[in-house]
């Protein structure tokens, strides 16, 4: 609850305060141009870093290794890009922190420290082998199957056509 209050009430108020202070220091038009410029530069940086993360993700899959680092990078890049596109200087600083690779590594380690132990990866019985190989991969099921089945012929009317059997939900029978 505290996080939501901070996110939706405190951050916008702080953003407005900083924008007003910067506007008073350098003027309204330069402040608006600066906000526009950082949004454009942020979108270009987002595109560049996003393509790199996508490429590394596909390389990890091609090497048949779990792409945990690549997924975390992709998540941080999306969050950072969103923050850069939002108007405000505070969110721009946090967005840049998440988009630049050296500082993103710090964020990734903090994210790992926060999430390790909170989630459990479960191998579902019958869910198939682990697509990434390694521990948890199972050989295909090679047990022989034995089926005991009986069948009956459908009764006929004597002329070779099948006789209509009464339906279970039929109230007449």
What DSSP line would sit under 35-98, residue for residue?
HHHHHHHHHHHHHHHHHHHHHHHHHHHHTT---HHHHHHHHHHHHHHHHHHSSSHHHHHHHHHH
How far, in Å, CA of 87 to CA of 55, rounded? 29
Contacts of 65 (CB under 8 A, 6+ apart): 132
Q: How far is CA 165 from CA 91, 148, 151, 158, in A?
A: 72, 25, 16, 15
Q: What is the pLDDT of residue 63?
A: 92
| Higher pLDDT, residue 141 or 15 | 15
How far, in Å, CA of 89 to CA of 84, rounded? 9
| Higher pLDDT, residue 106 or 136 | 106
pLDDT at 128 over 90: no
In the numeric block, the tokens 């007449």 are attached to: 172
Of the given ranges (39-53, 132-146, 155-169), which has the lowest mean pLDDT? Answer: 132-146
Q: Would the pTM of this model clear 0.85, i.e. be above it? A: no
How far, in Å, CA of 59 to CA of 73, rounded? 14
Q: What is the pLDDT of residue 114?
A: 83
Q: What are the b/e assignments for 153-167, b being 16+ CB within 10 Å?
A: eeeeeeeeeeeeeee
Over the stretch 51-67, which tens digit does the pLDDT of each residue have? Answer: 999 999 999 999 998 88
How far, in Å, CA of 155 to CA of 33, rounded? 86
Q: What is the pLDDT of residue 15?
A: 94
pLDDT at 89 over 90: yes
Q: What is the pLDDT of residue 62?
A: 92
Assign 153 to helix, strand or coil.
coil
């Amino acid at each position: 609850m505290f996080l939501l209050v901070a996110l939706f009430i405190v951050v916008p108020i702080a953003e407005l305060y900083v924008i007003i202070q910067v506007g008073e220091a350098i003027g309204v038009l330069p402040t608006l141009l600066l906000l526009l410029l950082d949004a454009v530069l942020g979108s270009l940086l987002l595109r560049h870093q996003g393509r790199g993360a996508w490429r590394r993700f596909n390389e990890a899959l091609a090497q048949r290794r779990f792409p945990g680092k690549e997924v975390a990078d992709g998540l941080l890049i999306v969050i950072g890009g969103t923050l850069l596109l939002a108007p405000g200087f505070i969110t721009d600083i946090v967005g840049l922190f998440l988009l630049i690779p050296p500082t993103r590594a710090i964020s990734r380690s903090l994210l790992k420290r926060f999430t390790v132990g909170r989630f459990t990866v479960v191998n579902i019985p019958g869910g198939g082998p682990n697509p990434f190989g390694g521990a948890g991969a199972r050989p295909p099921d090679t047990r022989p199957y034995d089926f005991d089945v009986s069948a009956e012929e459908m009764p006929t009317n004597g002329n070779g056509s099948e006789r209509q059997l009464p339906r279970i939900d039929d109230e007449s029978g």
